[in-house]
Amino acid sequence: MKFDLADLRAFLAVADLGSFRAASQALHLSQSAASRRIDKLEEALGVELFLRTTRRVELTTIGRTFIHRARAVINDLESALVGIADFADRISGEVSVACVPSAVGYFLPGVIERFHRLHPRIRVRLIDESSSELLLAVANGEADLGLTYIGTQEPDIEFEPLLEDLFVVACPKEHPLARRQRVSWAELAPYDQVSLAHGSGNRFLIDQALAQVEHKPEWFCEVRHVPALVSLVEAGLGIGVVPQLALPPRGRLVSVELEAPTVSRTIGIIRRRGRALRPPAELFQRLLMELTAQQRAPRPAAGRPRTGSPPAAGRSGVPRRRAP
């Protein structure tokens, strides 16, 4: 049977008010939309619920029987929702979330802020570590769940993908590349570049993707974590390749799409296989998945300046001289 709660509510409104016009006004629908909901419900049930004439609308015998069941369904659902809301207000405790540092700056704060408003009695403990260390934190129970981009090959870890995160070039607004919609890896060569160090999970993904690229960009400064790289680029030291979600939504930097090849990482939730989450962790995971679905909405076009104060002076826009 293909009908939903909105169809049941339309049925009850027409039955209670005795008019499609009055019901549509009460439901803030057009009269034709309210009529379609009733038609859909009758088609799904295979019966007529109303006798329609030019002057009035009356319930059929089956309609009079069904109205009690429909009202019971709506009442039970509303009671259940009230119970859940009461439970959410009462629940307390702590949830431990292990996450890669690139997720802390600009991805998780909105989730934590919303979670705190919904569940003020639950404390959130963040473990911001490298991808390999947070896998251990989840595996040994130090963290309830993790947010990372590595973990699908671990036998004791479940990995649930959330979204795809592209690597982009981060550069100050006045940089020559900031005016581009997209650039190739080879086109980065003339410019000073800050890079992630070997041993970083993000650097591994980049090196793997560039294995067949003949002219790889060279770096003059290397850091271990993405937030440090973003800070150095903001300070004007050079450009850097970073995951797009690691960039501030507003500020001094512009993101430019990379091609030839395009490189991305899959962000996902990890948890111990076969272990049920405690209620605080279950609530956090549910909210994280809900807000991440909204995060998949189109981001600002790559290469377009973001709002913010002007960048600090530096060498980021000056091509490096090559030896003759």
Are residues 50 and 172 both part of a single domain?
A: no
Instruction: Flag whether 301 is in a domain.
Output: no
Are residues 278 and 252 both part of a single domain?
A: no
**Residue that wins the pLDDT comparison between 161 and 54:** 161
Q: Which among 318, 264, 304, 65 is positioned nearest to 178, based on CA atoms?
A: 304
Of 69, 90, 111, the position where a domain reaches its end is 90
pTM: 0.59
- Mean pLDDT computed over 122-151: 86
Helix axes 31-45, 20-27, angle to 10 degrees: 100
Write out the residue range of the structural domain in which residue 9 sits.
5-90
Are residues 104 and 170 both part of a single domain?
A: no
Cβ(267)–Cβ(246) below 8 Å: no
CA atoms within 13 A on the CB side of 318: 7
Instruction: Flag whether 208 is in a domain.
Output: yes
Confidence band for 169, pLDDT divided at 50, 70 and 90: very high
For 29-72, how does the pLDDT look when each residue is reduced to its tens digit (9 = 90+)? 888 998 999 999 999 998 999 998 777 788 999 988 898 888 88
- Mean pLDDT computed over 284-310: 60
- CA 150 vs CA 39, 157, 204, 222, 296: distances in Å: 49, 10, 11, 22, 20
Cβ(51)–Cβ(58) below 8 Å: yes
Of 90, 119, 135, the position where a domain reaches its end is 90
Are residues 144 and 175 both part of a single domain?
A: no
Mean pLDDT of the chain: 82
Highest-confidence range of 61-70, 174-183, 193-202, 300-309, by mean pLDDT? 174-183
Of 214, 248, 264, the position where a domain reaches its end is 264
CA distance 38 to 149: 47
Instruction: Flag whether 322 is in a domain.
Output: no
- Mean pLDDT computed over 2-7: 83
First to last CA, the chain: 76
> What DSSP assignment string belongs to 101-166?
HHHHTTTHHHHHHHHHHH-TTEEEEEEE--HHHHHHHHHTTSSSEEEES--TT-TTEEEEEEEEEE
Sort 298 into a burial class: Cβ within 10 Å, 0-12 / 13-18 / 19+: exposed
Are residues 155 and 280 both part of a single domain?
A: yes
Are residues 140 and 274 both part of a single domain?
A: yes
Instruction: Flag whether 178 is in a domain.
Output: yes
Are residues 208 and 182 both part of a single domain?
A: yes
pLDDT value of position 323: 38
Instruction: Give the single-character DSSP code of 293.
Output: H
CA distance 258 to 256: 7
Number of continuous H segments (helices) and E segments (strands) in the chain? 10, 12
Are residues 78 and 202 both part of a single domain?
A: no
CA distance 47 to 266: 48
Count of the separate structural domains present in the chain:
3
At 104, which CATH number? 3.40.190.10
Instruction: Flag whether 315 is in a domain.
Output: no
Are residues 99 and 82 both part of a single domain?
A: no
| Backbone angles phi and psi of 223, in degrees to 5 | -130, 165
Give the total residue count for the chain. 324
